[in-house]
Amino acid sequence: MDLTRLCDNRTPMDVRCIPMDDREGRDVLVVIAKMTWRLAPNGAATIARPISPVRLFDVPRTDGLYPSLRYPSDGVDEKVGTDVLLLGTAYPAHHDATEQRVSLRVETGHESLHKVLTVHGPRTWQMSVMSGLAPGPSAKMAPTPLAYELTYGGIDATDPDAVVMDYRNPSGSGFLERRKSLAGHPAPVIEDPRTPVSSRSPAPAGFGPIPAHWQPRSSRMGTHDDTWRRERAPLLPLDFDPRHNSCAPPDQWLETPLQGDEAVEVLGASPEGALRFRLPRYAPVFHATIRGRTHEPATHLDTFLIDADQRRVELCWRTRVALPRKTEHLEKIVVFGSESLPEPVVADLAARVFGGGRAAEAP
């Protein structure tokens, strides 16, 4: 049941009102609002047209058995902190480049986020006497999607009766229990310099959303054992962690929510060079009227998604309203802006934080 008909939306956002059960089994109306901004080459943010919809389901990247996500679902009842996500393509800094660093940086003043990944050109696994199994030299790099399919992970189906997978990234490659058999096969091209695929403990590396059934999200679902089935089902387990609903990689989750006006920089993921802008300081305010009484439920920015390919930014807020026993007693939900729409903020204001320059070139 969609109760969006009760919503008076006075913003340029897409708004959905969806009845759900919270983790205690109470009936709540979850109101989700999404703002979409378009980024000009100079970093100015203006309202995008068309606006991105509130997505109630994950959008997979491919139709494969274990695909990564192109876009995550917004359809959860609560999210703590702010997920910061980057979608896009790595572009070589020059014609003959064989690798490129891609970085994401958000300056909050108290909890800065700075992450750098390396994207290589095509390469294969090679065996050597000195170093053992390791990726060989990178070939010339072409524009490369920032997809989990191109980083470490995958499934080892060598023995059909004992299939093993890397639950952190089933869509990846390079995960085999007998790694020597990888020689001659394509090697992952996206890696975190801190845990490269040639190390003893390689790890998936990405900027995009993590599906709910991948680690570490799946470990936060709580304990679904016989006691839970007997005493609590279908409610969520008592040890359910709300961070299960956060889809960002752990190092892209901010415990303190973003407020707006933070400086943002993306390097290596745009053919024009550096992408710098300030997060627009504009947010929704929710008013709920029940039995003639109006109150303002709390909200915060819980999802900040940068689509560098489209030069678009999606910002998502949500709030929960306890549903009365008789739904008709919920009279109205009003959504309006916290302030007037801001004037476009140009890139030089963000550049003052990060300094000028183009995308970081490969060494």
Q: What is the pTM of this model?
A: 0.91
Q: Distance between CA atoms of 111 and 209, rounded to whole angstroms?
A: 20
**Across residues 286-292, what is the average pLDDT?**
92
Answer left, alpha or beta for residue 83, where phi above 0 means left and psi between -120 and 50 means alpha: beta
Average pLDDT, the chain: 89
Domain-embedded: residue 174: yes
pLDDT at position 347 is 44
Cα separation of the two ends of the chain: 55
Residue type (1 letter), 138: S
Domain-embedded: residue 85: yes
Three-state DSSP state, 4 = helix
Q: Express each pLDDT in 126-185 by its tens digit.
A: 987 666 788 999 999 999 999 999 999 999 988 888 899 999 999 999 988 777 788 888
- Give the structural domain span for 331: 4-222+247-354
pLDDT of residue 231 exceeding 80, the answer is: yes
pLDDT at position 295 is 94
Q: Express each pLDDT in 33-46 by its tens digit.
A: 999 999 988 888 89
pLDDT of residue 351 exceeding 70, the answer is: no
Q: Express each pLDDT in 190-209 by its tens digit.
A: 999 999 998 888 999 999 99
Measured between alpha carbons, how far is residue 184 from residues 133, 201, 206 in Å? 10, 21, 24
Domain-embedded: residue 88: yes
Q: Express each pLDDT in 59-96 by its tens digit.
A: 999 988 889 999 999 999 999 999 999 999 999 999 89
Task: Give the CA radius of gyration of the chain.
Answer: 22
**Across residues 6-24, what is the average pLDDT?**
92
pLDDT at position 338 is 83
Domain-embedded: residue 130: yes
Domain-embedded: residue 163: yes
Domain-embedded: residue 231: no
pLDDT of residue 345 exceeding 60, the answer is: no
**What confidence tier does 109 reach under pLDDT thresholds 50, 70, 90?**
confident
Angle at 297 between CA 295 and CA 298, to 5 degrees: 145
pLDDT at position 111 is 75
pLDDT at position 56 is 95
Domain-embedded: residue 361: no
Q: 358 near 273, Cβ under 8 Å?
A: yes
- Split into its structural domains, the chain has a count of 1
Domain-embedded: residue 363: no
Percent with pLDDT over 70 in the chain: 93
Q: Is there a cis peptide before residue 145, judged by omega within 30 degrees of 0?
A: no
